[in-house]
Amino acid sequence: MTYAQGKYPELAGKVAVITGAGRREGLGEAMARRLAAEGVKVVLTDIGHAAGEHMPEQAVGTSAEMEEIAAEIRAAGGDVATCVCNVLEPQEVHAAAEFALGHFGSLDIWINNAGIGYLMAPIVDMAADKWDAVLGVNLRGAFLGIKYAAEIMLRQGRGGRIINIGSQASKSGFAHAAAYTASKHGMVGLTRSAAQELGPAGITVNTLCPNHVTTGLGAWQNTHFSEVTGKGYERYMDDMRARIPLGRPGLQEDVAKACAFLCSDEASYITGEAMNVSGGEEYH
């Protein structure tokens, strides 16, 4: 596969950093491929090391996997670089932003995609350290990304795009997922405040709120919740499809398309939004 001319020619030559973009079948990979197809120069980042205790393999983008994705994007004609980044560490997030600037000469788009979606438990069973881990990666990590991306965008003086990857859990509560839901609700508040602060400089800040997407981690979630609810896998998936007006769970490409739109000039007057990409499942 090689990339043809993109839908948004104004994106050609822009530079984007995507956190959590080193996993096969992940949202980060899909957004990277779509933006590269639009001519965007993309920096993939991920934590880079193998999964640790209590962490499913599907949750971590290793350096090797990230390099494989990058090689495939290059083979298709895209311009991509990679950078290991733990979004919990301010110095690493700052370094990733500066890496993009040094390697490609600019930073125009920052996408906060890294997140924890696997520490799920009833509130009474949720350990405090696991709560902190979810809030740390999902919310603190987004804050750090906004902070260091905005510093560079403000210095450049030509605006920019910041996109946070939220969830249907940014809008609605979910049993056994209080930490995740709290972090994604918090992301919407962070988005709105950042949009107020950065709007005068022409920097838009928005959140994308997809419903369930069966990424590698999403497949693990399907199995986990089908067991927790006692429904069994097939009934759990049937129930999911039944409550979505368009009749299917989301796809990675659905999120990637919405991301490209928010990066484009077509979305230049959209900021502070929490945009549903849910097939009609989420309305507010």
Centre a 10 Å sphere on the Cβ of residue 159 and count the other Cβ atoms it contains: 15
End-to-end CA distance of the chain: 38
Q: Is 104 exposed, middle or buried (0-12, 13-18, 19+ CB in 10 A)?
A: buried
Is residue 44 a contact partner of residue 82, using CB atoms and an 8 Å limit?
A: yes
User: What's 137's DSSP letter?
Assistant: I
180 is catalytic: yes
Beta strands in the chain (DSSP E): 15-18, 41-46, 79-84, 109-112, 160-165, 203-210, 274-277
Region at 246 (left for phi over 0; alpha for psi -120 to 50; beta for the rest): alpha
Smallest CA-to-CA distance from 164 within 110, 103, 201 is with 110
Given 8, 171, 184, 236, the catalytic residue: 184
Tokens of 268: 């230049």
Among the listed residues 118, 148, 180, 236, the single catalytic one is 180
By the 8 A CB rule, do 201 and 146 touch? no
Catalytic positions: 180, 184
